[in-house]
Each structure stands twice: as C-alpha cells, then as structure tokens.
Chain A
C-alpha cells in the first residue's frame, strides 16, 4: 500500500502543471484546469476556494475543510504539494490528540515502514558477506515468528535438559553416613 501511494505521488510528479503564472492577481480568473485534472478530478471545483488562502491553486488546502469535504470528501484531508509529494510515512493529526499518543503512533508507523533500519543499513557499504548474514538473520526472525514447529523444538530441547539433570541427581549418594562414624566424633 505504501508502494501504491508512492506510485500515485510519482504520477502527480510526472504531470507537473504546465506553466507557473507570475504572482496571480487576487481575484482569480477561471484558470484552465491543469493537465493532471485526469488524476484529481474535481480539482476545478476547488479553485474558487483558493483565493481564501493566498496560495496559488497548486496546493489543495484543507482549511476551508467543511466546504471541500462537501465538494469532494476524499480530497478533504489531502494537502498535497504538487512539487514534492513523495514520503515514506504519513500520519494525519486529529484534533486534541495527546502528545504521547501522537508520538507513539508516529513511531509505530515509522517502525512498520522500517525507515530507521534502512537508514542504518545504508549508512556504510555492506559487502556480500554482511548482506548474506543480515538476510539470514532477518529470515530467521521472520520464520521464528511464523512457524510454531520451532516452538515445540525448543520445548523438546528443554525437556532433554531436564531429564539430564535428573540423571545427575540420581547418581549422587544421598544416604546419610552411618551412625558409627557419627558417634566416634563425640
């Protein structure tokens, strides 16, 4: 799903708006719809809203959110910048969300996307040996989580260990020394 979103972002990047007009006059004349209209269909409905913000009609803003949600519900939450819209993780902030919860949500999303792991891996070049080791470690981790067989294997190992221990205990001589030896000391 992350790849899909990046793909759609890539598409919008591929069809940039044709020409940037110099600072547009405040009462916006009906501009010709940009060529990426095929992707974001009801965008030309949004242009009359744009003169509320002072942005050119390239960023669909969510501040007149009630109106835009009526116009096109799917665009209500979007705030895409046409120039750069590729990202790894996006978290939409709700109203009055407690700080810790927001942070945790963000951190969880980032961990799911594996951003920091990737960064650390790409920091220095890894040779083929390192790569193989890392891949086998990752595979082991993945398989360990999925295969319940490995759990029973571990149980068997534990059982074997316990029996071994019992054998040792049985070999010891637990009898008390005889009374004769005891009395002699006193």
Chain B
C-alpha cells in the first residue's frame, strides 16, 4: 500500500476516510468474512485496495449478538450505502468462513440493487497444515 491506513478505532462506524477524494469505481469486490462470532464486510476494488468496511461489531452489536444474521445484514447494508454513493454498480462477492452471516449478507446485497457477477467461496482450506487448537471441554 502506498499510504498507511489510519487506525480504525478513532472513527465512527468504521469508515476509513481516504485522503484523496473518493474515486469513482463502477466495479468492485465485496469480501465477507463470516466467522461464528462476527461478520466483517469489506468492499475493495478489483485489485484489492479497500474502499470501505463495516462489521457487526462496528454497527453497535456486542457480544453474542454480533454473530447473528441480522447483524450481518445491517453491516452489509451499511457498507453498501457508503459505496453506492461512490457509484458502484457491479460487484463480486467473496465469502470466507462458516457462520450465519453468509446467507444474510448475500440477501442484503441482492436487495440493495447492486448487480452481482459472481459469488465465490474463498474459505481457506489447509491441505493438512497446522495443528488446530485443542478441543474445548465445556
């Protein structure tokens, strides 16, 4: 990256303000990381440079409510509102991780009126790599 990304914590709603004013990007990629406890939605351009992001946590949900599909929906809605103002029409969706946010975000994107090219699942799969953490005894 050319310039360092400013720290997120200082901004409300996780909006990263870019120094030069918003570039008009008609086409982008929506990355969704849906874990069991949270959902993070990031919009980048085709090359991968982040335009804006939001997550269930930054939308005001806390604790167990972050992992719910409704929280994922609001996070997605948040991001798309920001990005639609910059004139994005077509998008690709890349979904990562198991979690309830997967379907909810797709629904929200569909309803928002952004045209989709592809929906991809990019969950990282090790070819039997690192050892996972031990079993929980709850």
| Cβ-defined contact, A92 with B117, below 8 A | yes
Residues of A within 8 A of B46 (CB): 55, 59, 61, 81
- A-B Cβ contacts below 8 A, count: 91
| Cβ-defined contact, B131 with A125, below 8 A | yes
| Cβ-defined contact, A89 with B133, below 8 A | no
Among A53, A106, A113, A120, the most chain B Cβ lie within 10 Å of the Cβ of A106
Selecting from B13-21, B76-84, B106-114, the interface stretch reads B106-114
Interface residues of A in 57-90 (CB under 8 A from B): 58-59, 61-63, 79, 81, 83-84, 86-90
Q: With A59-B46, A61-B46, A103-B103 in contact, is A124–B119 under 8 Å at CB?
A: no
B123: Cβ under 8 A from any A Cβ: yes
Interface residues of A in 14-44 (CB under 8 A from B): none
Selecting from B3-11, B50-58, B90-98, the interface stretch reads B90-98
| Cβ-defined contact, B121 with A125, below 8 A | no
| Cβ-defined contact, B103 with A86, below 8 A | no
| Cβ-defined contact, A86 with B122, below 8 A | yes
Residues of B within 8 A of A79 (CB): 92, 117-118
| Cβ-defined contact, B122 with A83, below 8 A | no
| Cβ-defined contact, A55 with B122, below 8 A | no
Our pick among A91, A102, A125 for the contact of B110 (Cβ within 8 Å) is: A102
A141: Cβ under 8 A from any B Cβ: no
A153: Cβ under 8 A from any B Cβ: no
Nearest residue (CB) in A for B36 is A123
Residues of A within 8 A of B115 (CB): 93
Nearest residue (CB) in B for A93 is B116
Our pick among A63, A109, A126 for the contact of B90 (Cβ within 8 Å) is: A63
Nearest residue (CB) in A for B45 is A55
Q: How far is the CB of A86 from chain B (nearest CB, A)?
A: 7
CA distance A84 to B98 in the complex (A): 20
Residues of B at the A interface (CB closer than 8 Å) are 26-27, 29, 46-48, 90, 92, 94, 97-98, 103, 106-107, 110-111, 115-123, 125-126, 131-136
